[in-house]
Structure 1
Amino acid sequence: MNVRRLIPTVTAAGAVTLSLVALSACSSSSSADDKGSDGKLKVVTSFYPMQYLAAQIGGDHVSVSTLTKPGVEPHDLELTPRQTVELNEAGYILYLKGIQPAVDKAIAQSEAKNKVDAATLTKLEVHGTEGHDDHAGEEEAGEEAGHDEHAGEGEAGADPHIWLDPVKYAEVAKGVGKSLEKADPDNAADYQKNTTALVAKLDGLNLKFQQGLKTTATKTFITTHSAFGYLAERYGLDQEGIAGIDPESEPSPARIKDLQDVAKAEKVTTVFFETLASDKTAKTLAKDTGLKTDVLDPLEGITDKSKGADYIEVMESNLAALEKALGAK
């Protein structure tokens, strides 16, 4: 996807900065217009990882909706007129810039007071794929040309899949908690309490990954698209993506040959595919190389096919799949 950077228009007297929070607000308190008839802050999120954060941290004080319905591949989402209206009526918007270009554009044009870009709440990095790096050299060039794909605010060519690293996701959670405290100060104490509880869950998940992947027969895994760069870096693994960061890109014959060589050299056992994207290439590669297949879920949405009911459960399923594929001891 070709995602051009879009800078939201700030209509407020000033921007509230919390750590690196991109939060546009006319004031630090919520108004009646920000809340529904039930008195809850109207929160609109872009896709599941943002929806989960808002629901966990907001608790009983928020009414959370998501623009990306279950089972919909989020990257190419096109908004309906009703969803555009929903954005304008929101008391708080939580999104991740660089994942959904149509959503980025609509949020930039939204009249909502409180807009938080999760990409500004942690440090984004550039993750390439050996032999298939769609983003090589874009870190400098992209800033000048303005045509970077999947770029976070101010970081051309950066990988946006921060939620797949429990540590980075916890950093984002803390920023979201602080921004909700500012947007709805009457309930700040509860937002703080809920943030602390969620961060504790994510710390526990991180510990499970550390322990589960500490000693393995191989450190290399092959997956459909390169969504797991942060996870691989966090736990000392090597991700080999069939496609690049964009799940819709097609691998070249040379890339397929490279992966076959890597699989043999690194004793790879499994080719991972995901729930919302085609598994055709992954299964073909696995068949040609005599490898197994399994699901490694990038958690861009929860469906009845997901191996878990929420973020924590699906990530634990991902851990179990990696432990099996990598020969954890």
Structure 2
Amino acid sequence: MVGKAALLIGEITHARREWQECGAILKLKEYPDGSREEFVSKCRNGDFDDVTVIYRSNDSNKITGNFNKELVDALPDSLKFICHNGAGYDNIDIEACTRRGISVSSTPVAVNDATADIAIFLMLGALRRITSSFQSVRQGNWRGSNFQLGHDPKNKVFGILGMGGIGSAVATRARAFGMKIQYHNRHQLPSNEEGGAEYVSFKELLETSDVLSLNLSLNPSTKHIISKPQFDMMKEGVVVINTARGPLIDEAALVEAMKSGKVWSVGVDVYEEEPKIHLGLLENENVVLLPHIGTATFETQRDMELLVLENLKDAVQYGRLKTQVLEQKYRKNEDDRWLRNH
């Protein structure tokens, strides 16, 4: 047994055997439950002084809380890698990790299909204003007293804000419904990666999309990227879909936009103050609500856990991460270019 250790915070459900097999190259430690205070105390008391790599997840955040600067600074000096189970990692202070020399990975690719499926489910439900029908038929009221015609997706302009792996998977599915696909990123994709989608400015995306799907990551620059000024720019009767992160949308502004009729319907899987949901969304039958289940399939959950373990093994055996977070990956590429040029 080598002297290095890996620490699992929380649980592994679908790849437990593969985690145990990592014991061939690492000492395995687990912190399945507890509190942030207890975890910090164990860090400071030396319980994890041999830990090189941590496996943590969005679910384990309820145990430790955010990996903010305070927590990152308490982690053992031996720690070099954090392997995170989740496509989103806004509960990790990447800058604080980078300053400590800690590399961080996430689980892109593994989440693409399941999240894209939920986005299309929400889009169809929102276009058909399906909530009222769901509720009335279960109440024995057939179509109910508020039955309304919906809209077809065919020939609608589908706008994607954030054309990464998930956004591209959403585009593929939306195209099958006969929709015109356009997108906005910070940078236009190479033509061979666009799949026929049209690159437009942020302003044009807002002004011309019949359906707007949010598929970008949350960071300080993207919080409330959709708020009242952006709703004011949108087409009358726009449909808004969010499967990314709740704080990307100013929910109070969204509720007002629905009241005014600017937004025709909404499909959301994520919320600004999860698990709390804005009362204006709960009370509006033109909103399709899901409880953040975008990746909640057996297959995807196992794929995510396996990808975390691949990162963990690469970290220990080769000193690198397979899916390092973009902020660190781009920074490393920029540093490498600087060294080559100086």
- TM-score for both structures, normalised by structure 2: 0.33
Look at both structures and tell me which one has the larger radius of gyration over its CA atoms: 2
